[in-house]
Amino acid sequence: MQDRIVITGMGTVNPLGLSVNETWHNLIAGVSGVGPITLFDSSLLQVHIAAEVKGFNPENFMDAKEARRRDRFEQFAIAAAKQALLQSGMEITEKNAGRIGVIISSAIGGLQSLQEAILTNFTEGPRRVSPFMIFMLMANGGAGMAAIEFGIKGPCFSVASACASGSDGIGMALMMLRTGMIDAALAGASEATIASTGVAAFDRVGAMSRRNDNYSMTPQPFDKNRDGLVMGEGAAILVLERESDARARGANILAELAGYGATADAFHVTAPHEHGAGGAAAMLMALSSAKGNVEDLGYINAHGTGTLLNDRAETRAMKAAFGAKAYKLPISSTKSMTGHMMGATGALEAIFCVQVIREGILPPTIHYETPDPECDLDYIPNQAREVKVSLAISNAFGFGGHNAVLALRKYS
């Protein structure tokens, strides 16, 4: 019988908190992480709101010199990874370092650093560009820096599949563990795209909410009056290992990473397939990978960005995948609180699924006021709900038609 792949550690920094416990407390309470942008002057933009990580001091996780040489997304990655490793109790030694993988994904990488380098190049000249810039902007920087930080010598890379990056990276780790390529992994994602270029670019494609004066009521996933996503930032990392190894060292097993599914819409560069065909296929693939069935499924953490097209297509995808059962499934979009953390979103929402399974509480979709006839499922509006769940899935769908779904199961 194939060894199960289990989760023994989790760490995060995100708009709701600087740890899993703080984040979970705020998530269940329905706290919004959205507020006015403080990371840069947004006065020239049409969007002035975002879900920023608050109170983060990188020097709590690394020395000041190293912090200055790392982009914000790399700082987030190290912070979340340190938390996850601490909880797991895993010791990295010369003996096991080559059997541990680091898959920390990012859709965009060091956007803030890249933007600053370009400005410096044109205003002060190329000789003023930092010699550390290349290491700050590359999308695999979080993975590379984590491997150096912890002395991990196994496979080390980043997956870039837009907003599916974090889920795809965790899925890659699952497959590598199942095939015996590695014995353990740090897997997740980090993103820090709240920079003027990033906000402007997403706004120009019509994806962003512009409720600058009413930010306490946006984003509104699945609501009839939704007007777009709110950009978020942060990191989420899991420690994954085989059940037999975790048990042998007496680790506290949090949940099983049971399945993974991935597809491509092959439809449009930004719009999802209008009938949700790719998303539906990925959900069913994840359940099959988990050796589960529709009747076992107890909760869906939806991609739920708050855009008109995404929420409608995802609703159709869930109906296509699960038929009449879709109307009985509790579903929530936690992006209503965290904002959309781009490539890191799927990794954080995998953590939320673990917490749902462990705690028996389903987070709400806040800001839900007006039902949309085209989005007519149970989105857990505004209030958390107590429900025992043994199997949950997390959806992550990205620009370019990327679909990635993780299945997580209660460990026993």
At 28-74, the pLDDT tens digits run 999 999 999 999 999 999 999 999 999 999 999 999 999 999 999 99
Q: Which residue has the tokens 């929530």?
A: 332
Rounded Cα distance, 216 and 30, in Å: 12
The pLDDT of residue 267 is 79
Record: fold of 6-248? Peroxisomal Thiolase; Chain A, domain 1 (3.40.47)
Concerning whether 402 is annotated as a catalytic residue, the answer is no
Q: Is the pLDDT reported for residue 399 higher than 70?
A: yes
Rounded Cα distance, 291 and 9, in Å: 24
Q: Is the pLDDT reported for residue 6 higher than 70?
A: yes
CATH 3.40.47.10, the chain: domain bounds: 6-248, 261-409
Concerning whether 340 is annotated as a catalytic residue, the answer is yes
The pLDDT of residue 146 is 97
In the numeric block, which tokens belong to residue 126?
A: 């190329």
The pLDDT of residue 172 is 98
The stretch 291-309 carries a mean pLDDT of 96
The pLDDT of residue 397 is 95
Task: Please report the beta strands in 14-70, taking only residues with DSSP state E, as ranges in sequence order.
Answer: 35-36, 49-50
Record: fold of 261-409? Peroxisomal Thiolase; Chain A, domain 1 (3.40.47)
Report the 10 Å Cβ neighbour count for 324: 8
The pLDDT of residue 251 is 97
Question: Of the listed 156, 273, 340, 402, which one is catalytic?
Answer: 340
Whether 260 and 406 have beta carbons less than 8 Å apart is answered as yes
Q: Is the pLDDT reported for residue 78 higher than 90?
A: yes
Question: Of the listed 156, 163, 353, 375, which one is catalytic?
Answer: 163
pLDDT tier for residue 272 given thresholds of 50, 70 and 90: confident
| pTM attached to this predicted model | 0.96
Rounded Cα distance, 354 and 203, in Å: 32
The pLDDT of residue 70 is 95
The stretch 339-368 carries a mean pLDDT of 98
Question: Of the listed 25, 48, 268, 303, which one is catalytic?
Answer: 303
Q: Is the pLDDT reported for residue 270 higher than 70?
A: no
Q: Give the whole-number percent of the chain exceeding pLDDT 70.
A: 99
pLDDT tier for residue 86 given thresholds of 50, 70 and 90: very high
In the numeric block, which tokens belong to residue 117?
A: 């380098």
Q: Is the pLDDT reported for residue 340 higher than 70?
A: yes
pLDDT tier for residue 158 given thresholds of 50, 70 and 90: very high
Q: Is the pLDDT reported for residue 186 higher than 70?
A: yes
In the numeric block, which tokens belong to residue 127?
A: 């000789």
Q: Which residue has the higher pLDDT, 271 or 60?
A: 60
pLDDT tier for residue 269 given thresholds of 50, 70 and 90: confident
In the numeric block, which tokens belong to residue 315?
A: 């609703």
Q: 234 - beta bridge partners? A: 191
In the numeric block, which tokens belong to residue 4?
A: 């199960």
The stretch 240-253 carries a mean pLDDT of 97
Classify 370 in phi/psi space as left (phi over 0), alpha (psi -120 to 50) or beta: beta
Mean pLDDT of the chain: 96
Segment holding 386, helix H or strand E: strand 385-386
Q: Is the pLDDT reported for residue 271 higher than 80?
A: no
At 101-149, the pLDDT tens digits run 999 999 999 999 999 989 899 999 999 998 888 888 899 999 999 999 9
The stretch 170-182 carries a mean pLDDT of 98
